[in-house]
A and B are shown apart, each in its own frame.
Chain A
């Protein structure tokens, strides 16, 4: 066990865990940030997607010891009031069925739009195809990314 200091959602946290603990489980079990979801544990489904220094990463395979001073953003910290353009688009398009994968989808989409504010349809599809939605809300995810892009300057 070791004490890790973490910067999550612009706040300082510390967690007393083993160094190989994936960030996902530190967020969920140690910090109480359960918005980041467990789906597969092997970076295949994207449910655990968070931002590390603004880039989308799979927190289920990222050991806490590898984070260092990196800034972590989770779904809880994507916006203060839940009004990030991607979050708003998800509501407007009414994307969610069960909703379990959507935090990961939103974090992937937000990182995609940061990099490519006006993505083409192909760029959206290739950018989002790493995230699984078992309910099959893919049409609406694609649509919501377009809506979010149209409202971002």
Chain B
């Protein structure tokens, strides 16, 4: 890690003799070099030998591995280096992990989103490690004048058994780096993995537990100013006039600038800027429709009935199937907006200079941030640098670059390095949200209880397609129609962890539970029968792996002792998303007349598990997130104005409300797929179906806490 040099350290530690005789440490950001937050990868690797963009080895045997993708709590900064270290046969104790900065020349897809980093990089990372290992072996073989094939590696050393020779990687690095890297290199057999599949602790544990500056909000720079921005208070408003006289006169305020519909108060500290913002006198005028959440049910229902739907998938003859049905089941499901609420609110450092732009902070899409800032400032993208900090959650919010662009905008206007800080209120009321959605499902059963027809129509919001038309049960139902209608809302929406499926999966899995009941079948048996059909007589394309889905269903049934627990009401759900398969069983127990969710059993197929500890927590966290937001999450608007603005109005799940979460991974040796999102979608369905068993009341809308089944229960 970059550290302060001695001169600046001395001024930083400027000791002033105090009147009271005590020792005072005078400290002021403006005359001290700030503690750098982001490790400068190039500084760290200076003095060591670089093998490729991911990896360098020092003569001190320290192996530095750069993790290029943003770390938002998904564990990539630990998992990526593990994959490289595995193929390298490195000693994990000597591995130092560094967050890479944006460098499109060195890395592809420096994005955290869509649970896509691991599947994208799995082969690349393995090759990076294996190639370096190959060169180290070649170097040792040349030095010892023995065949490379007789050399072995383990724990950061090359061995030649016959001669008893061995050398640490650090001793060989210089020679190895001069050799030509092979085009193709043999990767390990998965059964020989030593590190992959183990529990490896988060590489930043110590820094986190000791309060080191890691996050974007922790970044300080000499002379840096702080900007607090007032954005329109309602979606659909635009700025009419600003009187900033009083705000400008307040202590510590350097400037107040206006751009687009925003007013930025720039000051010497976060608190001074926050206070001065309250003194702004701003008038707005209506520029678009003002939407209210209370209108959504009406708007959505109207669109479900009369909207012009786009067909997403059609198999067979749905009309005839419903005409000939012995039984038709219909249900509708609706959800509200959700804010992402990462605990670290949006913030970004920007310094627009004459020769380029420096950006530092938390973003899931550094390349997008760079592109948009380049466009704003007129610099070519190469003149815009992006340092990626650790991020206090993302959940999709940091996929957008709005908060980066506005930091650059304000820096450009004020001509100073500054950090834009969003308060929690700004973060919750400033957009972007998981859109509100409504789904209508219809199922046709014949007189033997076979599912002969299936219809789904979704009304999404600013989303185009609010369905996942090729997901189960598509492929298993002969006559099927999935279509969607889009509602354009002035309220800005965007991806929220497991976009679309974070609600669709619950709606679909709840509906299938109703259909199974109407067919007189056990919900698990009902799904297994459908999957058999998808396998033996597929209706159209089947774009999920039927056997992998069956395997997680059976594993969840087995581990939950499905249907055999006395006094425990179980609900089932299974979902395929982001290339992974997850089945869950929710368990509800009645306590003093009140339904309480006690357990969730999750069976997960994400292929090879890289880090056991991180993966286990990723699933648990996804389940807690899925349950918490399904149960309590409710973001509403009146005339375009948010009703909730902080955690006193918007309820997040807390420790006293969590179920136990029991996680089981399928061990199938398949290349790993994503895990940041797939555990979340099935949770709502497993929970709703278990609550139904306990209360005989269906949960048709989120948040569940507002549903009739929970009236009078806190």
Which A residues lie within 8 Å of B213 (CB)? 34-35
Q: Tell me if A111 is interfacial: C-beta within 8 Å of chain B.
A: no
Query: Which of B26, B271, B654 has the most chain A CB atoms closer than 10 A to its own CB?
Result: B271
**CA A21 to CA B653, docked complex, whole Å:** 30
When C-beta atoms are compared, the residue in chain B nearest to A132 turns out to be B652
Stretch at the interface among A22-30, A51-59, A112-120: A22-30
A52-87 vs B, Cβ < 8 Å mask (1 yes, 0 no): 000000000000000000000011101000100001
| A6 (CB) vs chain B CBs: closest residue | B24
The stretch of B288-296, B389-397, B586-594 that contacts the partner chain: B389-397
Interface class of chain B by DSSP: loop
A134 to B397, CA, bound (A): 13
**CB neighbours of A42 from chain B (8 A):** 424, 646-648
Residues B26 and A14 in contact, CB atoms below 8 Å apart: yes
Q: Is the beta-carbon distance between A18 and B652 smaller than 8 angstroms?
A: no
Contact of B208 among A17, A31, A102, A134 (CB under 8 A): A102
**Distance between Cα atoms of A25 and B269 in the complex (Å):** 8
Q: Do the beta carbons of A29 and B25 come within 8 Å of each other?
A: no
Partner of A21, one of B206, B220, B271: B271
Report whether over half of chain A's contact residues are helix, strand or loop; otherwise say mixed.
loop
Q: Which residue of A25, A95, A134 contacts B270 across the interface (Cβ within 8 Å)?
A: A25
B212 to nearest A CB, angstroms? 7
Report the count of interface residues on B (CB-CB < 8 A): 78
A37 neighbours in B (Cβ, 8 Å): 215, 217, 343-344, 392
Shortest beta-carbon distance from B601 to chain A in Å: 14
Q: Determine whether the beta carbon of B655 is less than 8 Å from that of A134.
A: no
Question: Across the interface, do A99 and B656 meet the contact criterion of CB distance under 8 Å?
Answer: no
* B646 surroundings in chain A (CB, below 8 A): 40-42, 44
Q: Closest CB-CB distance, B233 to chain A, in whole Å? A: 18
Interchain CB contact (< 8 A) of B212 among A30, A35, A129, A137:
A35
Choose among B204, B424, B617 the residue that contacts A137 (Cβ–Cβ < 8 A): B617
Q: Is A33 touching B211 in the complex (CB atoms < 8 A)?
A: yes
Closest to A139 in B: B620
Query: With an 8 A cutoff between CB atoms, is B623 at the interface?
Result: yes
- A35: which B residues are within 8 A, CB to CB? 210-213
On chain B, the residues within 8 Å of A76 by CB distance are 210-211
Q: A12-B22, A94-B617 given as contacts; is B218 within 8 A of A34 (CB)?
A: yes
Q: How far is the CA of A38 from the CA of B202 in the complex (A)?
A: 22
Contact A22 B655 (CB under 8 A): no
- Check A39–B343 contact: CB distance below 8 A: yes
A77, closest chain B residue (CB):
B211
Flag if A94 contacts B613 (CB, 8 Å): yes
Interface string of A77-112 (1 = CB under 8 A from B): 010001000010011001111111111001000000
Cα–Cα, bound, A131→B343 (Å): 11
Decide: B654 and A41 in contact? CB cutoff 8 A: no
Report if A47 contacts B (CB, 8 A). yes
- Contact flags (1/0) for A1-18 with B, using CB distance below 8 Å? 100010000011110011
Min CB distance, B682 to chain A, in Å?
15
Given A76-B210, A90-B205, verify A40-B27 contact (CB < 8 Å): no
- Residue B499 is within 8 A (CB to CB) of chain A in the complex: no
Contact A97 B342 (CB under 8 A): no
Lowest 6 A-B CB distances belong to which pairs?
Answer: A35-B211, A100-B392, A98-B73, A136-B624, A75-B211, A97-B73
Given A11-B25, A17-B271, A139-B658, 19 additional A-B pairs, CB 8 A? A5-B18, A12-B18, A14-B24, A29-B29, A31-B27, A34-B213, A35-B212, A38-B217, A39-B343, A39-B345, A42-B648, A91-B205, A94-B614, A97-B73, A98-B72, A99-B204, A134-B392, A135-B625, A141-B655
A residues in contact (CB < 8 Å) with B: 1, 5, 11-14, 17-18, 20-22, 25, 28-42, 44-45, 47, 74-76, 78, 82, 87, 90-91, 94-103, 106, 125-126, 128-142
Which residues of B pack against A, CB within 8 Å?
Answer: 16, 18, 20, 22-29, 32, 34-35, 71-75, 199, 201-202, 204-206, 208-215, 217-218, 220, 226, 251, 269-272, 275, 341-345, 390-393, 395, 423-425, 613-614, 617-618, 620-625, 628, 646-648, 652-656, 658, 660-661
| Cβ contacts A to B, 12 pairs, < 8 Å | A11-B23, A14-B26, A17-B269, A28-B270, A34-B211, A34-B218, A37-B392, A39-B344, A75-B209, A98-B342, A100-B215, A135-B625
